[in-house]
Amino acid sequence: MAKKRGNNEGSIYELQDGRWRAAISLGFENGKPKRKVFTAVTRAEVAKDLGKAIRDLQLGIQPIPERQTVGEFLNIWLRDVARMNVRPGTLASYKWIIEKHLVPNLGRTTLAKLSPQQVQKFLNDRLELGRIPRPFADPAKPQETGLTPRTVQHIHATLRAALEQATKWGLVQRNVATLVNAPRVQRAEVDPYTPEEARAFLSAVSGDRLEALYSVAIALGLRQGEALGLRWCDIDIAARRLTVRHSLQRIGGKLSLGELKTGRSRRSITLPQVTISALLRHQGVQDTERQFAGGRWRDTGHVFTTTIGTPLDGPTVTRRFQDILKANGLRKLRFHDLRHTCATLLLAQGVHPRLIMEILGHSQIAITMNLYSHVIPSMRNDVADQIDIALAPPQKKAPKRVATRVATKRAPAVVN
pLDDT for 159 equals: 97
pLDDT for 260 equals: 74
**Any alpha helices (H) in 186-311, and if so which ranges?**
195-205, 211-220, 224-228, 273-293
pLDDT band, residue 111 (cuts 50/70/90): very high
DSSP letter assigned to residue 91:
H
Strand order in the sheet with 20-29: 11-14, 20-29, 32-40
Residue % of the chain over a pLDDT of 90? 43
pLDDT band, residue 396 (cuts 50/70/90): low
Question: Mind listing the pLDDT tens digit for each residue in 272-288?
Answer: 999 999 999 999 999 99
Q: How many angstroms separate the CA atoms of 165 and 329, rounded? A: 52
More confident: 392 or 138: 392
pLDDT band, residue 28 (cuts 50/70/90): confident
More confident: 251 or 281: 281
pLDDT at 416 over 50: no
DSSP 338-384: HHHHHHHHHHHTT--HHHHHHHHT-SSHHHHHHHT----HHHHHHHH
pLDDT for 415 equals: 40
Question: Mind listing the pLDDT tens digit for each residue in 55-67?
Answer: 877 776 666 555 7
149-168 helix and 116-129 helix, angle to the nearest 10 degrees: 160
Q: Which amino acid appears at position 385 of this protein?
A: D
DSSP letter assigned to residue 247:
E
Model confidence pTM above 0.75: no
**Mean pLDDT, the chain, integer:** 83
What mean pLDDT do residues 363-367 have?
73
pLDDT at 156 over 50: yes
What mean pLDDT do residues 158-174 have?
91
pLDDT at 303 over 90: yes
Nearest to 269 by CA among 299, 230, 304, 306: 230
Question: Mind listing the pLDDT tens digit for each residue in 205-245?
Answer: 999 999 999 999 999 999 999 999 999 999 999 999 999 98
CB atoms within 10 A of CB 346: 19
Sorted by where each begins, the domain ranges of the chain are 11-58, 70-134+144-179, 195-377
- Of 131-140, 277-286, 366-375, highest mean pLDDT: 277-286
pLDDT for 316 equals: 92
pLDDT band, residue 72 (cuts 50/70/90): very high
- CA distances 137 to 96, 99, 133, 142, 143, Å, are 20, 21, 8, 10, 8
Which contacts (CB < 8 Å, 24+ apart) does range 81-86 have? 81/165, 82/161, 82/162
Q: How many angstroms separate the CA atoms of 208 and 325, rounded? A: 13
Question: Mind listing the pLDDT tens digit for each residue in 308-352?
Answer: 999 999 999 999 999 999 999 999 999 999 998 898 888 878 788
More confident: 146 or 193: 193
**Any alpha helices (H) in 221-263, and if so which ranges?**
224-228
pLDDT for 3 equals: 44
pLDDT band, residue 4 (cuts 50/70/90): very low
- The architecture that CATH gives domain 70-134+144-179 is Orthogonal Bundle (1.10)
- Superfamily (CATH) of domain 195-377: Intergrase catalytic core (1.10.443.10)
More confident: 384 or 2: 384
pLDDT for 186 equals: 76
Q: How many angstroms separate the CA atoms of 19 and 108, rounded? A: 27
